Structure 1
Amino acid sequence: MEGWIKLYRKIAENPLWLIKPFSRGQAWIDLLILANHKPGFFYVRDVKVKVERGQVGWSEPKLSERWGWSRTKVRKFLKDLAEEQQIVLGKKSVTQIITILNFDECQKKEQQEIHQPIPQDGQQQDSSRTAAEQQQDPNKNDKNIKNDKNSLFRQRFFSVLEIFYFKNFKNPIAVTNAFFNHYEGVGWKNAHGLEIENVESVAENWDNKTTEGINCPENLLLKWKVMFGILKNNTEHYNKFLRIRPARIENGILFVRAKQNDMKLIEDDKKLLGVWKIALLKSFGKIDIKYEIDKQLV
């Protein structure tokens, strides 16, 4: 089989992709996904670690947790790849850097359009307009800039909310608001005063100081996560489900908590209900839904 495909890195967040344990082939592709597409850095115990394009800065313990493997299996797999001259393992210091050989051959050069902002709510960017046309009405340019900023903020907000939601925080919306309030206050800089380049990675390490406890049993959340992944791939309105929460299953009934207005948003969207019905069946089998008013949600 010849040819190649572009694999969008967002697949790494799909619950179907993250089902454990990984296969060896899946782990290899995962390394390609995790590899930096441009030079960057991160901190480990206050030590700045540089990561170049085509390098992975994940330690054996983190890969072990991600892939559902023992550390011994991870170590042997990486050693096998090194012996096959697929990767080069850096010397261990505060962490180990994995360099993927011939990364550009595997991944190809990213096209410029990949880095353009993702249109939101079905809105497409009109690249056919000339600069002269845009300059005819300065107010339109101002509105476009404002809309782009609002769209980017909305995309970033829901991305962080999704992370906190599936960390099983009791009130993920409150935690997300606290997160944004904090970093808006410090100008989106980290503890070292450096600009934050990857908001999602910061959110992954954010401590929940807003609410205590968990939302629901982990096994229930795992099924809900699979359901959410199906929704995410089949409807642009999947973010509505970050406003409702699974609570428990009793006697074949799935109890879902939400504010009344958020329940109504879903109930009024007949097309969305159809997609949800399919996603529920694939994730939970035949099951009934019952809503509960949730006074804790903001």
Structure 2
Amino acid sequence: MKGWIKLHRSIQTHWLYQERRVFSRYEAWLDMLMMANHKDNRVVLGNEFLDVQRGQFITSIRKLCEKWGWSKTKVTQFLKMLESDEMIVYFSDTKKTVITIGKYGFYQAGEDSEKTEEGHVEDTEETRKSTNKNDKETKKEIYTPQFDEFWSVYPRKLSKADAAKAWNALIKSGASIDEIMTATRNYTDECHGKEVQFIKHAATFLKNDRWKDHLLLDKLSNYKAKKADPRDKEIQFQQWLQQGRSPEEFNWGDS
């Protein structure tokens, strides 16, 4: 049979769904689809704000164990299996687990409009756009040659459209493309050998000047390698202050 059915998230409150049971892997996958945010959101976790993108949700391994009736090992192995099949990308630390559904638009239509089955297939993370007139940009207009160069270097290829949006905003603000690319190459080197879930999304890397954290890495390493004149450290210190960082946190080394 062909076609779609709609399954509302409120099904999770139905007594049939809330029955205590051990979830099958199929049930667990459906549960993850329903837990994912249908639009970008900001949530509070402890004492910090976290931006949660469309198709993402924040949980913990412990919560998934309790909800699905699984062991910690089974949950972790299931998430790794989904990631290896490019169905999700996930990241865990001591406070949370962030899960991103791959190609979320394929599974979830816009809630305010009907879509054909063909429309769902085309609704990938790279082509999904608002119907607002101001957002009707073509792929060619979004992905500039400079951005394509950045994307070819960046170590994690996920949510390209979001990354392009962050890139365009950054360039519009007057940021130097050469400096962004230097920081990107530094970060790529830094990520060598890391597991993919520990590498920032490209959009996260570009927003809030986080890329600047990696701008001076090459200069600092050159300083150490060449044992440069201590006065060079003063220049680095001034650059550190220009980035709005605390002078107490600057590493003076042996100079």
TM range (shorter): 0.3 to 0.5
TM-score calculated relative to the size of structure 1: 0.36
TM-score (ref. length: structure 2): 0.42
